């Protein structure tokens, strides 16, 4: 009997000692992973701020075949929420506590674990704008484990941070791929025959290979903008490129980049900036929403519409592109809007 008492007493000491050890163990933890993504901060912020996009890149969602999602009345911004149930992983929910465009997001994560019941942790996101339209995205989680949580993780082969880190890295990698794909989205719509009002404009002309047009235009436009501002000329429209000559066989073009103004301006003979007039005319209008790399397809759609509808291009009047979106203000190429006008007889 004494041996049984001693064994019982020893077991009791072990239990008490273990409980004390678990109690005094620091339960605080924090994990964060960062990734530099070649995408604007606005796009990345809006993606993460909207819970319905998480199905596309969140590793827990994509790796679970039986997960069932339920969204709250609000899915983006302060107060947004969603929850999930699964047979293969723990049930839980997420709520956005604070959303600060386009710099940070604070969220509350609740997870139901075996034995532990429900635990809550703070999830946070940081967005740091870098050069060349890149963004450093930081995804973090922090919290303080209670007694049962600490005991639960002591039975595992890894800590909570070691367990989560690979998933966070995978999530940021998938977010990168998702953002890259979103920036490639585009649409082409032939709006049909319209009448362009024309008007005076300030311009600079050059010739180059077709492949260099975008680069040349980006170099020419700031000088025209500066000239218009320095001379207090009222701008009446968005920048455009007028194609005086376009030779696909030789891969060359002669073109002018211009800005519409209210009236004719007489410039010095030696000035690189000149004034001209675009006549009021009928044209087939095509709208591209997306990157300029898709302009060729948009032009082809416009000319196809002309051929299919028995129309005839007016070769004596150059076709032109109007850039409705300023890339310096809207860095996401998927949101750029370009209008193409092909004059017709």
How many other C-beta atoms are found inside a 10 Å radius of the C-beta of residue 96? 25
Give, in words, the CATH class of 25-183: alpha beta
Domain with CATH 3.20.80.10 in the chain: 187-343
For residues 88 and 105, the answer to whether their CB atoms sit within 8 Å is no
pLDDT of residue 25: 46
CA angle 131, 339, 330 (to 5 degrees): 20
Strand ranges for 130-186 from DSSP E: 135-144
pLDDT for 159 = 57
- Secondary-structure percent of the chain, ordered helix, strand, coil, rounded to 5: 35, 40, 30
Given pLDDT bands bounded at 50, 70 and 90, which one contains residue 1? low
For the chain, the first-to-last Cα distance in angstroms comes to 113
pLDDT tens for residues 200-238? 999 999 999 999 998 999 999 999 999 999 999 999 999
Start-end of CATH 3.30.530.20 domains in the chain: 25-183
Confidence of residue 2 (pLDDT cuts 50, 70, 90): low
pLDDT score, position 4? 57
Angle at the Cα of 158 from the Cα atoms of 153 and 159, rounded to 5 degrees:
55
State what percent of residues in the chain have pLDDT above 70.
Answer: 84
Query: What are the tens digits of pLDDT across the range 312-334?
Result: 999 999 999 999 999 888 989 99
- Decide if 176 contacts 37 (C-beta within 8 A): yes
pLDDT classification of 61: cutoffs 50, 70, 90: confident
Contact 314, 344 (CB under 8 A): yes
Is 129 a residue whose pLDDT tops 90?
A: yes
Predicted local confidence at residue 28, as pLDDT: 73
Query: Is the entire prediction scored with pTM above 0.95?
Result: no
pLDDT value of residue 154: 47
Lowest mean pLDDT among 117-121, 135-139, 313-317: 117-121
Higher model confidence: residue 308 or residue 90?
Answer: 308
Rounded to the nearest integer, the mean pLDDT of the chain is 87
SS3 270: coil
Q: What would the CATH number be for the domain defined by 187-343?
A: 3.20.80.10
């Amino acid at each position: 009997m004494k041996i049984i008492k001693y064994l019982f007493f020893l077991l009791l000491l072990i239990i008490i000692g273990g409980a004390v050890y678990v109690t005094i163990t620091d339960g605080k933890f924090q994990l964060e992973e960062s990734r530099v993504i070649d995408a604007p901060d606005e796009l990345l912020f809006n993606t993460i701020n909207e819970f319905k996009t998480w199905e596309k890149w969140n590793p827990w969602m994509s790796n679970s075949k039986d997960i069932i999602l339920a969204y709250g009345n609000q899915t983006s911004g302060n107060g947004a929420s969603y929850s999930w149930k699964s047979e293969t992983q723990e049930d839980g929910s997420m709520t956005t506590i604070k959303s600060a465009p386009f710099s940070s997001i604070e969220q509350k994560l609740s997870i139901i674990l075996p034995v532990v019941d429900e635990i809550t942790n703070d999830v946070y996101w940081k967005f740091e704008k870098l050069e060349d339209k890149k963004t450093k995205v930081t995804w973090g989680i922090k919290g303080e484990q209670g007694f049962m949580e600490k005991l639960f993780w002591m039975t595992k082969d890894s800590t909570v941070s070691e367990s989560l880190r690979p998933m966070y890295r995978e999530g940021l990698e998938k977010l990168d791929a998702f953002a890259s794909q979103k920036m490639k989205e585009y649409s082409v719509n032939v709006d049909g025959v319209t009448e362009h009002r024309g008007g005076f404009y300030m311009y600079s002309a050059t010739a180059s290979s077709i492949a260099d047009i975008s680069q040349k235009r980006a170099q020419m436009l700031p000088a025209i903008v500066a000239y218009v501002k320095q001379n207090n000329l009222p701008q009446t429209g968005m920048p455009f490129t007028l194609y005086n000559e376009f030779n696909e066989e030789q891969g060359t073009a002669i073109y002018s980049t211009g800005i519409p103004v209210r009236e004719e301006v007489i410039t010095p003979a030696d000035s690189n900036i000149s004034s001209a007039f675009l006549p009021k005319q009928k044209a087939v209008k095509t709208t591209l929403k997306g990157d300029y790399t898709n302009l060729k397809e948009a032009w082809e759609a416009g000319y196809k519409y002309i051929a299919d509808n028995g129309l005839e291009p007016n070769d004596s009047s150059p076709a032109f592109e109007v850039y409705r979106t300023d890339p310096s203000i809207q860095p996401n190429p998927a949101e750029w809007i370009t209008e193409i006008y092909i004059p017709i007889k």
